[in-house]
Amino acid sequence: MLHQDKNSSQQTASATLDLKEILSAPLKQAAQAKVRVSDQYLSVKTPSGQTKGLLRVLMYLEDMGPISTEEVVESAPTGATDY
């Protein structure tokens, strides 16, 4: 988190989000799709490590199902599939 005025900005606090939680969450059936849901409370800490509060992060990740190898190769950046 940054404090910003018209002349400068400085980091006042940060929170670390673990994306592994959303990727390993169980699939749930929503109205039109299968989704993974993550509801996390993150500690907000100052640069010195002092906890200043909590930040709630609610994420939904839609599972589009498996994709073919051809789709992966076609969407990969140039050189990413060179072994």
Instruction: Tell me whether residue 5 is in a domain.
Output: no
DSSP 77: P
Hey, is 21 helix, strand or coil?
helix
Q: What pLDDT score was predicted for residue 12?
A: 81
pTM of the model: 0.59
Edge-to-edge order in the sheet of strand 51-62: 27-29, 34-45, 51-62
List, for residues 13-70, the tens digit of each pLDDT value: 888 888 888 888 888 888 888 899 999 999 999 888 899 899 999 998 987 777 777 7
Instruction: Tell me whether residue 62 is in a domain.
Output: yes
What is the domain count for the chain?
1
Q: Is the pLDDT reported for residue 2 higher than 60?
A: yes
Could you tell me the residue range of the domain that residue 23 belongs to?
11-75
DSSP β-bridge partners for residue 59: 38
